[in-house]
Amino acid sequence: MLPWWVWVPAWGLALLLMLVLSRRASSPQQVAYRGALGALVLASMSLAVPLGPIEYHLGLLGPVGVLLGGAAAFEVLFIVAGILALIGHGGLTVVGLNALVLAAGATVARPTYRVWARTHSPARSFAAAAAVSQAVAGTLWTVVMLGALGGRVTGEANPSGLHAQTPLVVGVVATIWLLGLVVETTVAFGLGRFLARVKPELLPGIPANWPARAAVVSGQP
């Protein structure tokens, strides 16, 4: 549905970023870690969460961005988007655009988490990171869709019909975004709480006095 002048540059930019990032040195442990998180994202995106008449696919942008950082998250999301397209979930033409938009959301997750973690528990910080990630990715997708719709309007003989669809598109996108925001933040909250208890060293910037600090932040004795 998207015109070529939207997805072709996105493919080019995504491939260029992958080429640049692939030159970075990575240890086998880092590769395995990214692969494990990529498998988790692939599984979550493959499963549909029924939200009334809408089927939502969990993205986990917040947790992946927090745990990997923006650059590694982009590599993971690009590969996941490619695999999903090859099995019929999404189109091959929009793999680059999907990766860029999702990675943009994941990139802001870690900075958001670090800010919130100064005064909040990992669970709440994870949830905040997920909310901001979804907000960024959702906003970018809305801009892309409306921009593509506007571009098609200029080339149609009857633009009034397409203009009339704009409120409907915005309404559908906003509804999916709000529902997804609730789901993503809830899941991120649970993941943050789980990691803080089981594997706190995976969390970025975890302080040495984590158990004592956790009790102070959460208000527990």
- Assigned domain for 48 exists: yes
Tell me the two tokens of residue 196: 């803080």
Return the higher-pLDDT residue of 143 and 173. Answer: 143
**For range 105-116, the mean pLDDT:** 95
- Assigned domain for 221 exists: no
Q: CB 88: neighbour CB atoms within 10 A?
A: 7
SS (H, E, C) 114-178: HHHHCCCCHHHHHHHHHHHHHHHHHHHHHHHHHHHHHHHHHCCCCHHHHHHHHHHHHHHHHHHHH
115, pLDDT greater than 70? yes
pLDDT at 168: 65
Helix (H, G, I), strand (E, B) or coil at 55: strand
- Assigned domain for 167 exists: yes
Average model confidence (pLDDT) for the chain? 82
Say how far apart CA 41 and CA 35 lie, in whole Å: 10
- Assigned domain for 220 exists: no
76, pLDDT greater than 70? yes
Q: What is the distance, to the nearest Å, from the Cα of residue 197 to the centroid of all Cα atoms in its chain?
A: 24
**For range 165-184, the mean pLDDT:** 72
pLDDT at 116: 94
Task: Tell me if 106 sits within 8 A of 34, measured CB to CB.
Answer: no
Q: Please report, as a single letter, which amino acid is at residue 76.
A: V
- Assigned domain for 39 exists: yes
37, pLDDT greater than 90? yes
Task: Tell me if 159 sits within 8 A of 83, measured CB to CB.
Answer: no
Q: What is the pLDDT of residues 186-217, one digit of tens each?
A: 999 999 999 999 989 888 876 545 554 444 44
Residue 118 makes CB contacts below 8 A (sequence gap 6+) with none
- Assigned domain for 66 exists: yes
DSSP state of 188: H
Using alpha carbons, list the distances in angstroms from residue 74 to 9, 146, 176.
Answer: 17, 24, 23
- Assigned domain for 45 exists: yes
| Residue from 21, 66, 194 nearest 123 by CA | 194
**What CATH number does the domain containing 62 carry?**
1.10.1760.20
**For range 11-16, the mean pLDDT:** 95
Say how far apart CA 173 and CA 171 lie, in whole Å: 6
**Whole domain around residue 136: which residue ranges?**
4-215
| Residue from 133, 27, 11 nearest 73 by CA | 133
Among the ranges 24-28, 44-48, 191-195, which has the highest mean pLDDT value?
Answer: 191-195
**For range 147-173, the mean pLDDT:** 57
- Assigned domain for 156 exists: yes
157, pLDDT greater than 80? no
pLDDT at 7: 87
Say how far apart CA 179 and CA 212 lie, in whole Å: 36
Question: Number of structural domains, the chain?
Answer: 1
Return the higher-pLDDT residue of 142 and 140. Answer: 140
Say how far apart CA 191 and CA 111 lie, in whole Å: 18
Q: What is the pLDDT of residues 50-71, one digit of tens each?
A: 766 667 788 899 999 999 999 9
